[in-house]
Amino acid sequence: MLTLENLSKLFGGVRAVDDVSLTIREGEIFGLIGPNGSGKSTTINLITGLYTPTTGKVTLDGHDLTAMAQHERTSMGVARTFQNIRLFGNLTVAQNLWVAQNGHEQRRAHFLARWFKAGGEHGPDIEELLRFSQLHSKRDLQANALSFGEMRRLEMARALASNPRVLLLDEPAAGASQEDAQLLAERIRAVRDRGVTVLLIEHMMELVMGITDRIAVLNFGRKIAEGSPAEVQMNEDVRAAYLGGSHKNEELVHA
Amino acid sequence: MDFYFGLLQIFGVHTLLGLSAYVVLLTGQVSMAQAGFYAIGAYTAGAGTAMFGIHILPAIIVAGLVTAVIACIVGFPALRVKGLMLVVATLAFGEMVRLFFFNLTWQVDRGGELVGPNGAEGFRSIRYFPEHGWEVWHVTAFIWAVVIVVMVALWWVDRTRAGAVLRAVGHDETAAQSIGLNLTAVKVGAMTAGGFIAGLGGGIYAHTVTHIEHGVFGVLLATFAIAYPILGGLGSVFGTVIAVLFIQGFLIEGLRFLGDWRSLLFGALIVLAMNLRPTGLLGEHAPRWFRRRKTGSEPLELKEAN
C-alpha cells in the first residue's frame, strides 16, 4: 500500500537517503533498521512530508503523496510519532487527542461542528483511544505532567486519533526498559489489529525481530537488505554494516 | 468623576488592543502589527461616522471587518517567517500603515466644514459621541459592553477545538503539522481574528479622543499591545485585562506622583513582574475557578492502575 520509489534526499552534498525503494503491504508490521545516521528518520520525514525528497516519490494506494502538504497526507491516512516525544504539553491528555482529529472522515464534518463545538474532547472516539492507551484516568491532566512511558503512549494515541491507515513509529522503545518494550510490542500488535499498517524504526533488535513481518536495512542512506527477520539476520551485508561501526552486531546475531 | 470614566475608557480600548495581540500570541506569533491594525480601525470607523454619518455600532463593526480583511491578506506572507523575522516584518507593516495615514488626505464637505484625514494634521472632529448627546458614562458603558462581548467570545472559543488548536500550534508547530493541522490556515485565522478585534478597538478609540493622528500608532503602541498578553499570561483573557490594569492603571496613572522617576520605575517593575511570574501575571493556565470540573470516572482509575 505504501510505496517509496527511488527516493533520495540530499542535504548539501550528503546523501541522507539514497535511491531507496520499498513496498509496505497492507496490514503488516514493517521494520526499518540500520546503524545511527543511516537515514531512517529522514525516510520517515520524507513519507510524512516534513522534508521534500530530492528525487523519487511516495505513494499510498496509488495516490502520489510527494507534492502534498503534511496536513493533506494526514487526511490521506499517514500518521507518525517522533523520536523525541513532541506532545502539546500545554493541553490536557484528552485535548491532545482532540486536536489531532484531522483524518479524512473527520474533515467532512461541518465547519462549525468541527472547529467550534465545545467539549468534543469527550467524544466516543477519544474515550475509546484513552482506554486503548490506558490513559483514561489521566485524561484531564496536563500532558507535560505525565510520566515518560505515559507520554509515549499518548503520542501514539494522538497519532491514531486521525484514524490513519499507516502509522510511522520513530524509535518508540527509546528509553524504555525490557519490560516496557514487551508491553510496547503488544501495543504495536494491537494497533495492527485495529487495521493500521505499521512502519517501525527501532534500535532495540529484540523488539524489531520479535514483532515485524518484514524488515528493510539501511546503511549510509542505501537499502542493503530486505526480507523476513530471519533472512535479514543471516544477511552478510547487514552483519558487515553493523560490525562496521557499532556494537549492535552482537544483539543482531543473538536476538 | 469624569477623570475616572476617562481612565476606564483607556483601559477598555487598550484591553481590546491587548486581546487582539493575545489571539495571535496563542499561536506563538509575536506580532508588532497590532498598532497598525488599530490605526486602520480608527481611521475607518472615524470616516464612517464623521464623513458618512453612519451609526457608531455599524461603523466600528465595519472597521473591524475591514481590518480583518487586511490582517488576513498581510497574514499570508508575514506568517511564513517566524520569531524575530516575524517581529521585523510586522513592525515594517505597522510603520507602513502609519506612514500611509501620515500622507493620507481625503476630506469631504459636511455642513460647510471639511472633515476627514488631513495628512500630518490627522483626522479631527470625530465627534459622534458629543454630537449625539452621549454622556461620559454612556461612552464608558458602551466600551466595556464591547470589551465584555469580545472577552466572552474569546473565552468561549478557548473551550472549543479551535482554541485547543491555537494553543497546540503555539506549543509545537512541527507536532501540529504532523497531526494534520494546516499551519497557514490556523495562523492566518488567528491573525484575522486579531485584526478584527484591533479594528474594533481602534474604531472606538478614535471616537473617545475625537482627534487621531499617525504618531499615536507607532512602535510604542505596538509594544504595549504585545506586552499586555505577555505580561498577563496566556492562560485566559483575564491575564490581558489584569496586565492592562497593571500597566495603564498602576504604572502609568498610579505612579504619576513620582514625576520623572516613574519612567525608571516603569521598566524596573515590568522586569520584576516578569521575573516573579515568568509565565505572566496569571500564568499559563486558566484560573481554577473557571476550569471545567473533572469528568473522569473514578472506578476506571482503579482498574487501570498499571
Residues of A with CB under 8 A from a CB of B: 48, 50, 69-71, 73-75, 79-80, 82, 86-91, 95-96, 98-103, 114-122, 131, 134, 136-137, 139-140, 142, 158-159, 161-162
* pLDDT given for residue B125 in this prediction: 87
C-alpha B240/C-alpha B226 separation (Å) is 10
pLDDT of residue B288: 56
DSSP secondary structure code for residue A146 in this structure: S
Provide the 8-state DSSP code for A218: E
Residues A63 and A101 in one domain: no
Tens of pLDDT, residue by residue over A144-153, are 999 999 999 9
B-interface mutation test, from A137, A158, A187, most B Cβ less than 10 A away: A137
Domain annotation covers residue A82: no
Q: Which residues of B touch A184 (CB under 8 A)?
A: none
Would you say residue A234 lies in a domain? Answer: yes
If you measure CA to CA, which chain A residue comes closest to B302? A137
Exposure b/e, A200-227, CB count within 10 A at least 16 = b: bbbbbbbbbbbbbebbbbbbbbbbbbbe
Contact B102, B119 (CB under 8 A): yes
pLDDT in tens, A59-111: 999 999 999 999 999 999 999 999 999 999 999 999 999 999 998 888 888 88
Contact A53, A66 (CB under 8 A): yes
d(CA B154, CA B190): 11
Question: Pick from A133, A163, A193: which residue ends a domain?
Answer: A163
A70/B178 CB distance under 8 A: yes
Same domain, A19 and A114: no
A151 and A254, same domain (yes or no): no
Quick one: B257 exposed, middle or buried, by C-beta within 10 A (0-12, 13-18, 19+)?
A: exposed
Written as one letter, the residue type at B4 is: Y
Q: Flag if A137 and B301 touch (Cβ within 8 Å).
A: yes
The residue extents of the domains of chain B are 2-218
3-state secondary structure of A10: strand
Q: What is the pLDDT of residues A216-242, one digit of tens each?
A: 999 999 999 999 999 998 888 888 887
Q: Supply the range of the domain harboring residue A129.
A: 88-163
**Are A41 and A117 within one domain?**
no
A172 and A254 together in one domain: yes
Q: What is the pLDDT of residue B286?
A: 62
Tracing cell 491514531 back to the chain, one arrives at A160
Q: Of B264, B232, B298, B224, which is closest to residue B26 (Cα–Cα)? A: B232
CB contact under 8 A, A86 and B175: yes
Closest Cβ–Cβ partner in A70, A87, A120 for B161: A120
Residue pointed to by grid coordinates 505577555: B230
Cell reading at B247? 500597566
Q: How far is A18 from chain B (nearest CA, A)?
A: 24
Confidence band (pLDDT; 50, 70, 90) for A203? confident
Q: What are the beta bridge partners of residue A227?
A: A215
Q: Is B157 on the interface with A (CB under 8 A)?
A: yes
Query: In this structure, what C-alpha cell is assigned to residue A18?
Result: 539514497
Give the pLDDT of residue B298: 38
Residues A92 and A168 in one domain: no
pLDDT for B303 equals 38
Domain-ending residue, one of A146, A163, A180: A163
Domain holding A236: CATH number? 3.40.50.300
Burial of B269 (0-12, 13-18, 19+ CB in 10 A): middle
Contact B161 A159 (CB under 8 A): no
Q: Could you read off the pLDDT tens digit of each residue along chain B, which spans 306 residues?
A: 888 999 999 999 999 999 999 999 999 999 999 999 999 999 999 999 999 999 999 999 999 999 999 999 999 887 788 888 999 999 999 999 999 999 999 988 888 888 889 988 999 989 999 999 999 999 999 999 999 999 999 999 999 999 999 999 999 999 999 999 999 999 999 999 999 999 999 999 999 999 999 999 999 999 999 999 998 888 889 999 999 999 998 888 888 888 888 878 877 887 888 788 877 788 776 655 555 544 443 333 333 333
Are B300 and A100 a contacting pair at CB < 8 A? no
Taking CB atoms and an 8 Å cutoff, what residues of chain B touch A82?
A: 174-175, 178
* Residue A202, in any domain of the structure: yes
pLDDT higher than threshold 80 for residue A211: yes
pLDDT at A244: 60
Please state the three-class secondary structure of B244-291 as a single string.
Answer: HHHHHHHHHHHCHHHCCHHHHHHHHHHHHHHHHCCCCCCCCCCCHHHC
Closest CA to A91 of A144, A157, A160: A144
- Considering only alpha carbons, which residue of chain B is nearest residue A44? B178
Residues A119 and A150 in one domain: yes
- What does the alpha-carbon distance between residue B241 and residue B163 come to, in Å, rounded to a whole number? 19
| Domain identity same for A239 and A225 | yes
Position of cell 529522514?
A: A42
Q: How buried is A116 (Cβ within 10 angstroms: 0-12 exposed, 13-18 middle, 19+ buried)?
A: middle
CB-based contact A70 B170, cutoff 8 Å: no
Whether B171 and chain A come into contact, CB under 8 Å, resolves to yes
Question: Who among A82, A88, A162 is closest to B167 (CB)?
Answer: A88
Nearest-angstrom CA–CA distance, A212 and B186: 38
The answer on A37 and A62 residing in a single domain is yes
* A126 and A249 part of one domain: no
Is residue A8 helix, strand or coil? strand
* Residue B302: predicted pLDDT: 37
For every residue of chain B, DSSP letters joined together read -HHHHHHHHHHHHHHHHHHHHHHHHHTT---S-HHHHHHHHHHHHHIIIIIT---HHHHHHHHHHHHHHHHHHHHHHHTTS-HHHHHHHHHHHHHHHHHHHHH-B--EEETTEEESBBGGG-B----HHHHTT--HHHHHHHHHHHHHHHHHHHHHHHTBHHHHHHHHHHH-HHHHHHTT--HHHHHHHHHHHHHHHHHHHHHHHHHHHS-B-GGGGSHHHHHHHHHHHHHH-SS-HHHHHHHHIIIIIIIIIITGGGTTHHHHHHHHHHHHHHHHSTT-TT-SS--GGGSPPP---HHHHHHH--
Q: In terms of domains, do A9 and A124 share one?
A: no
B 67-96 residues inside an 8 A Cβ radius of A: none
Cβ atoms within 10 Å of B277's Cβ, excluding its own: 15
Q: What percent of chain A has pLDDT over 70?
A: 95
How far, in whole angstroms, is CA B49 from its chain's centroid? 22
Domain count within chain A: 2
Residue B299: the pLDDT is 38
> Domain check: are A101 and A196 in the same one?
no
| Chain B contact set for A89 (CB, 8 A) | 171
- Write down which residue in A136, A163, A190 finishes a domain: A163
Chain B closest-CA separation from residue A155 CA (Å): 10
